[in-house]
Structures are given as C-alpha cells and as structure tokens.
Chain A
Amino acid sequence: MNGRFDAELRERLERLSAAVPDLDARGDTVPIASRPGRPTWRVAGASQISAPLVLVTVVMLVGVGLLGVRGLGGPTTPAGSHGAVSATTTDGRFSLTIRAERDRYQPTDEIRIDASLVYTGPDPEITIFHGHGSPLGFGIVEPVHGLELTPGWLLSCERSIVKRDVPISRPFGKSGGFGASDPQVEEKRRFLQDPILRLPAGTWHVYAVAEFSLGDCGGEQNSLRAELTLEVDDQAAVATSTTPPTAHPTASSPPTRPPADVALAYPDGCAAYGLSERQCAFIVELAMQDAGVPENEIARIELLGDPDCVDPGGGLCNTSLGSTFLVRVRLITDGGASSEHTRRCMLGSGYPCTDDPGLAVSSPTGPNGGYWDTPCNPGPAPAGCATPMPPIDPDAAANAVALEIADLDIAIDHVGDYRIELGTATLPNGQLSEASVRSVSSEGWVVVDRFLRLTVTSEDPSRPPFETAYQHGWYPGTERVSVVLEFTVLQADPGAVLSLAGILVR
C-alpha cells in the first residue's frame, strides 16, 4: 500500500511541480554585486532588467494603533441584526474573533471593526511569533474600488507573549497592493491612505486572519480566519451611526520618509529611515565593503530614499516584489567619486534588516525535531511501525535527578565558539522528556550562528545519541547524562552578556 501511495504522491507532486507558472516572466539574470576585482556575470540573452523591479507593488498599513481599540465587544449577535456583530473561529488553543458595531451601514458611515486573538490553552501564557506589529491582519473578499484588500505585514519577525484568556486586539487596518501603472493609482492610494474604512453600497465580506508560529519564527504554523458579512446600502436604516465621516484624529497620516532624492547626512539621517544606530552603521559598513573603499578615504556619507518609490508624497512606499527598501547609501570619496548602494531586505538579508538578533535555542526535544515520532517502515512489525515506549519504571523515576538552572549569564568576550558545561542529570530508563531553555536574551548586541545548542550526552559511551527517543532506546535504571551549551558568536558588542533563564533537562 505504501508503494501505491508513493507512486500516487510522486505523480501528483510532478503534476504540481510542472504547473509552477511563468518561469521566464521576470527575465531573471545572474547579477553580481559590483565588488572591485570580480567579474560581472550576466546570463547571455537574459533581460537587462535588474530584478526584482519589474512591477512595483505598494503596501500600505494604516490605521494600526491610530484608531484605538474601541468598545466593540459584548454578546455575539447573529449577522443580520442592527446591533454588534461578530464571528469567531477556534482552532485548538486559539480563538479569533472579528467584530463590528453593526452589520448595516450607509456609504458615508465609518465602519469600525476590530479583531482579537485569545489563547485558551493549559499554560498561563504562550509565546507566539508573527509579522510586524501584530499577528492579526484584515482583508475584504470583494475588491474595493478595484483594490484587493488582503492582510499584509511589514517584513520582520516579532514575538508576543499571550496570556491565557487575555485577548490581544487590533483595529481594522487597510493593506493591499496595486501596480504602478494602474490607471486608478491615485484613487487606490487615497483609499489606502485614509485610515477610516468606508465602503460603497453592496455586500461585503470582511475577514480577519491571525498568522503566527509557535516555538520560533519558523516553528509550528498557525492560521485562523474569521469573517463577517456587512451590508452597505444608501437607504439602510442605521441604528447607531453617530460618527461624522470627517471626525478623526489628525495623527492619521501614514508613516512618512524623506523624499527619495533628498540626501541626509549620516548618521543624523538614520532615524528618518527608521534605522537604529547599529543597523545604520552596519548598512554603511556593507556599502563600504561593496564599494571597496576604505573608511579613511570616504569624505562624506549620505542617506537617500527609494528611487523606485511610486509615492511622491513619501508615504510608506517601500515594498516591491518581496523586498523591502531600507535606505540608499551614497559614499563620496576624498577624490570626489561617488557610488550609491541600495539596501533592501529580502531573503538572506540578515542583520541590516532587524534589531532582533533572533536568539534561539535548539535542543533534542525542541520544536520540529520529531524526537518522539514513532518510526514507521513499510511492512508489518517488527519491520513496520514501532510499538509505543514502555512506561517508565517507578524506581527509576524516583531516582532520577533533573538538571535545573534558574538563570545563567554568559559574558561574551570573543567572537567564535563557546562551550559551556552546564552539569549533569540522571534520566529514568534513559528517557529524555525535556531539554529546554525558557528564555534567552542579551545585554548588548550578540549575533549567534543559527542557534545556541543545548546538547545532552550519555556518560555511558556505548549509548546512542539523543536524536530520537526510539533511536536512543531503553536503559535499565537511570542513565547519567552531561548537558552542554554550545554556540558560535558571529558578532557582539564589547561587554555583551547572554542571559538564559529556566534551563531544564529531565
């Protein structure tokens, strides 16, 4: 049966793979940074367009944090009434609710919507990882003025701690995209920039989504969606419309950046581009590397905006085909020569793009490791699926000793490898049930290569490694293990300290 499944899976994957569209549409080339002394490659016959700026897409995120969370709560009322309406989707330990003050509006009415995410699981709190600002986003199924409103986040990975039964909320914010050559570009831009949601007459399906992962940015993905149906009608009998369309705080304009062609001096101009001192210095350093010009030959450094931005007003106009514009650095040498270096965040952009060093710990029992997966092979037992692990012997459990370290501070005094012996633990019947670190943070900037690795090794050299519970297998009595923390520091501020809390191996 496995063979039949494999064959079917292969056939279907091949069909799917073959359907990937439009492979040549963007005229991808093999570009190379203009590093001195290196050849410049370009695939013969390929387009001279420098990817990825064929189509400019504008993503506007407005309204977030400006409208404030309004009192849209109260008992759920079925859609169709003129009172508050809501819809809730529950998936395991999380519930997503979208609410509106009512379900019928006039075209001039402000439509107030918010969404909230609630954790209802067994722990007092849980850490989730999500895009910029919030795990919550909004969209409208039907195009509005020809514009598709879909959830969008600025590129980053942020973490939030969600306490059990305490909702995190977000008011409706518009996000969507349109092409630079769109004939309705002005109308669409105005609509996106207006923080107030008003809709033309019609039936609208407004939805909220919650997108986040557990364990880490690339951990277990969670996605919830909840949708409301709203009616907008010129003749709607509106029960509670009281807000004049123009009543809104003046602080509603979207974030702005300097005009693209206005040069700001470094480092004073960094803040205008939303860059921290560290990010800005890193970006300038990269620009100097790209230019191949030593720092002592540079007379002036200037910061400029995105020359490809389609928003002449300098709004938040920084996203094009998956990359986010950060800043353009102009280096002017003592001899008067100048070069420009645009820094965008896309994949592999690394630390110019964030001030979060993304410290994380990997361990044998960490997320996605599959430590407790039951191995299955084709055919019946014993070659087939393994039987469940036997229960732990009570005597072994009584004699087991966990390794617990409440807090650990590590002075980072060099760049390179670190190996810290944390101690020992004894495991009942050799069964590792947890190897974890509750939190890791740093005082000062510390960049670690991938992860801090919490390794567990048996003191009996004949024992298999702790890769999966089944591979490690059963051990009579208790098995003594040593616990080591290993990591490689790539970059660190002088005097930086790594702080770990809640180390537990049992």
Chain B
Amino acid sequence: MPSSPEDIDRARSELDAAFRANRDWLVRRLALVCGDAEEARDLVQETFVRAAERWPLPDPSTPERWLATVALRLAIDERRRRHRWGFLELQPRDATWALSVDPDLWRALARLDRRTRAAIVLTTLDGYTQDEVAALFDVPRGTVASWISRGRDRLRRGLEVTP
C-alpha cells in the first residue's frame, strides 16, 4: 500500500500505464471468452478496480499476467457467474460485430464452455502454455489439456475443417 505522496503518485502513474497498456487487450480477449463485448468491458473495469485496491501487484514487472488471471477468473468463476444470468451467452443480438466478421467461428466458440474458450484463446493467441493456463485456473495441466483437446475437436467440427 503506498503511503507517502511520492509513493501514491508513482503508484498512480504505474496503474495508469498498466491500464493503458492492457485494457483494450483484455477486453478483446474477454469478449471472446464471455461472448459479449459489454460484459467484457465490465469485467475489465472490475479487474482494474481490484488491481487498484491491491497496487502495487506482487510482481509489478508483469501486470498483464495478474490482470489476465483476475479477469478470466471473474469471467469464469461459477459462484460469481450465477449472478449474471440475465445476460445470455453469445446471443446473436449481442454480437453483430462478431457475426459480421466470422459467424462460423463465433457459433463454434459459442458451443464451448468459457474455460475451454479461455484456454484456447490464451494458448492460440497469446502463447500461454498449458502449464500457465493450468496455474491460472488452479487446475491440473491434464485438465487443461483435455479442455483444449476437446475444444479443438468441437471447433474443428463446427468449422467443418478436415483434420
């Protein structure tokens, strides 16, 4: 917790920088995971609230890891998700932006659960290893491997790509 005015200014500056560097990236990834850009923005906002409460983060050199972990857990945590039932997942009316770009992929993603979507997005787009995803979700690596294997199969079927 920053105490002196200088510490507070420095922390504020670092948080500003982390926000600018990571906010859009996180929204883009979370929109794929939770299927709704609006929800993704809410999740990222909540993530930065938590970051601000805890700043400086345990490893200030890689805030993106901490932010991704918190944001994805917020998106996926079962106990929290149940409070968001009024907003259905991947409704076409919420995703005209996605349907206009790649409707087949969007619909194929919609058939996966959030954790599988997250695992596939992180490993495919951001170079996370299965071990890193496992640590992020606090599950064994084998479980992540299963999510990815099953998810890829379903995506492949959904996209009608011959293996």
Interface residues of A (CB under 8 A from B): 1-2, 5-6, 8-10, 12-23, 26, 28-33, 38-39, 41, 43-44, 51-52, 59, 129-132, 148, 150-157, 211, 216-218, 220-221, 223, 319, 321-324, 345-350, 353-354, 356, 358, 360, 368-370, 373-376, 450-451, 465, 467-468, 471
Q: Are B113 and A217 in contact (CB under 8 A)?
A: no
B129 vs chain A, min Cβ distance (A): 15
One of B2, B16, B81, B125 near A43 (C-beta < 8 A)? B16
Q: Closest chain A residue to B162 by CB distance?
A: A1
Q: Chain B contacts of A18 at CB under 8 A?
A: 28
Contacts A43-B20, A218-B82 known; 19 new A-B pairs at CB < 8 A? A8-B161, A12-B105, A13-B124, A29-B45, A30-B16, A30-B51, A31-B49, A32-B52, A32-B53, A33-B49, A39-B11, A39-B12, A148-B93, A155-B86, A349-B83, A375-B146, A450-B78, A468-B143, A471-B142
One of B11, B31, B82, B140 near A358 (C-beta < 8 A)? B82
Q: Chain A contacts of B16 at CB under 8 A?
A: 30, 43-44
Q: Are A152 and B86 in contact (CB under 8 A)?
A: yes
Q: Are B32 and A156 in contact (CB under 8 A)?
A: no
Q: Chain B contacts of A131 at CB under 8 A?
A: 85-86
Q: Are B37 and A28 in contact (CB under 8 A)?
A: no
Q: Are B97 and A157 in contact (CB under 8 A)?
A: no
One of B11, B115, B143 near A467 (C-beta < 8 A)? B143
Q: Closest chain A residue to B43 by CB distance?
A: A347
Q: Does B65 count as interface, using CB distance less than 8 angstroms?
A: no
Sample of 5 A–B contacts (CB below 8 Å): A5-B161, A28-B48, A155-B85, A370-B143, A471-B142
- Interface size on B (CB < 8 Å)? 78
B48 vs chain A, min Cβ distance (A): 5
Q: Are B79 and A30 in contact (CB under 8 A)?
A: no
Q: Chain A contacts of B80 at CB under 8 A?
A: 347-350
Q: Chain B contacts of A356 at CB under 8 A?
A: 82
What separation, in Å, do the CA atoms of A373 and B145 have in the docked complex? 10
Known: A16-B102, A216-B78. A2 touches B124 (CB 8 A): no
Interface residues of B (CB under 8 A from A): 1-2, 8, 11-12, 15-16, 19-20, 23-24, 27-29, 31-32, 37-46, 48-49, 51-53, 55, 74-89, 93, 97-98, 100-102, 105-106, 113-115, 120-121, 124-125, 140, 142-143, 145-147, 149-150, 152-153, 155-156, 161-163
One of B12, B83, B125 near A14 (C-beta < 8 A)? B125
Interface of B is mostly: helix
Q: Are B37 and A20 in contact (CB under 8 A)?
A: yes
Q: Are A154 and B98 in contact (CB under 8 A)?
A: no
A367 vs chain B, min Cβ distance (A): 9
B98 vs chain A, min Cβ distance (A): 6
Q: Chain B contacts of A471 at CB under 8 A?
A: 142
Q: Are A157 and B85 in contact (CB under 8 A)?
A: yes
Q: Are B12 and A41 in contact (CB under 8 A)?
A: yes
One of B2, B27, B93 near A20 (C-beta < 8 A)? B27
A303 vs chain B, min Cβ distance (A): 21
One of A1, A9, A12, A16 near B163 (C-beta < 8 A)? A1
What separation, in Å, do the CA atoms of A167 and B5 have in the docked complex? 64
Q: Chain A contacts of B145 at CB under 8 A?
A: 375
B16 vs chain A, min Cβ distance (A): 5
Q: Are B83 and A218 in contact (CB under 8 A)?
A: no
Interface centre among B2, B74, B124, B147, by most A CB within 10 Å? B124
Q: Are B84 and A322 in contact (CB under 8 A)?
A: yes
Q: Chain B contacts of A19 at CB under 8 A?
A: 97-98, 100-101
What separation, in Å, do the CA atoms of A354 and B162 have in the docked complex? 46
Q: Closest chain A residue to B11 by CB distance?
A: A39
